[in-house]
């Protein structure tokens, strides 16, 4: 059993991420992505999560246990930028989220065993520069789907990469840009995160600027 190197403190920010075991895909169709997004919303609660309650459209989640600021679902991994809201909130949230999705995935695809490579990983966001960097890094992750090595030797133009990232359905950018799809989700509590970008146009400009850097030091 792995030991977590990062302990979570209330009012601190953290970058959380995990990937499929042996780098396998954990999202195989649109239903998978959308179910995980549904879980991201409904698992943010003090209440226990049971399969019956997930099917109950009248389920009221009540008070939330984490504040979510940025997320992106990729075919074989996920990124979440969050703030610890109550003691133990992040650990409880991720346990509910990842366990519920694993049960769904294994049942749907008639498999058993681990879905994720290990316990989710986390990094403490210890400064404003790193926090702002993660807003860009997580939202620009989808660019790798059409140009795997775009950071070092890109084959697509900056405009193409930005357009793909902007249209990518399964990230919180949809909520920040207030698209119809994003407005339906309600996953974020972005009010507790610094407002680096005052409006949709400002956010788009900032991401485009990051994407334009030839030697942008993005991770992963």
Give the residue from 172, 118, 181, 105 showing the smallest Cα distance to 142: 172
The total number of residues shown for the chain amounts to: 220
Angle in degrees, CA 26, 72, 78, rounded to 5? 40
Residue appearing with tokens 């357009």: 163
| pLDDT tens digit sequence for 166-218 | 999 999 999 988 888 888 999 999 888 887 655 566 677 777 777 776 444 44
What whole-number distance in Å separates Cα of residue 214 and Cα of residue 197? 22
Predicted confidence at residue 219, as pLDDT, reads 46
Q: For the chain, which ranges sit under pLDDT 70?
A: 1-6, 51-58, 196-202, 213-220
Question: Please, which residues bridge with residue 94 across strands?
Answer: none
* pTM (predicted TM-score): 0.89
DSSP 178-196: T-HHHHHH----GGGS---
Map out the domains of the chain with their CATH numbers.
13-212 (3.30.70.1290)
Predicted confidence at residue 217, as pLDDT, reads 46
Predicted confidence at residue 195, as pLDDT, reads 73
Question: Please, which residues bridge with residue 15 across strands?
Answer: 81, 123
Predicted confidence at residue 10, as pLDDT, reads 95
Give the residue from 19, 24, 8 showing the smallest Cα distance to 93: 8
Predicted confidence at residue 182, as pLDDT, reads 85
| pLDDT tens digit sequence for 49-61 | 776 666 655 678 8
Predicted confidence at residue 218, as pLDDT, reads 44
């Amino acid at each position: 059993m792995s030991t977590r190197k990062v302990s979570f403190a209330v009012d601190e920010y953290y970058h959380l991420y995990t990937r499929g075991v042996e780098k396998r895909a954990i999202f195989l169709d649109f239903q998978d992505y959308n179910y995980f997004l549904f879980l991201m919303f409904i698992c943010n609660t003090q209440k226990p999560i049971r399969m019956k309650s997930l099917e109950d459209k009248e389920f009221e989640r009540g008070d939330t246990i984490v504040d979510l600021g940025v997320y992106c679902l990729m075919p074989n991994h996920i990124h979440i930028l969050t703030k610890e809201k109550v003691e133990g909130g992040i650990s409880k949230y991720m346990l509910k989220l990842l366990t519920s999705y694993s049960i769904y995935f294994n049942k749907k695809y008639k498999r058993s065993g681990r879905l994720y490579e290990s316990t989710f990983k986390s990094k403490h966001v210890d400064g404003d520069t790193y926090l702002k960097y993660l807003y860009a890094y997580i939202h620009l992750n989808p660019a790798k789907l059409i140009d795997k090595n775009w950071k070092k030797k890109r084959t697509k133009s900056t405009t193409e990469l930005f357009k793909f990232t902007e249209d990518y359905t399964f990230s919180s950018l949809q909520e920040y840009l207030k698209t119809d799809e994003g407005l339906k989700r309600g996953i974020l509590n972005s009010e507790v995160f610094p407002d680096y970008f005052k409006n949709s146009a400002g956010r788009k400009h900032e991401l485009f600027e990051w994407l334009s850097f030839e030697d942008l030091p993005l991770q992963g």
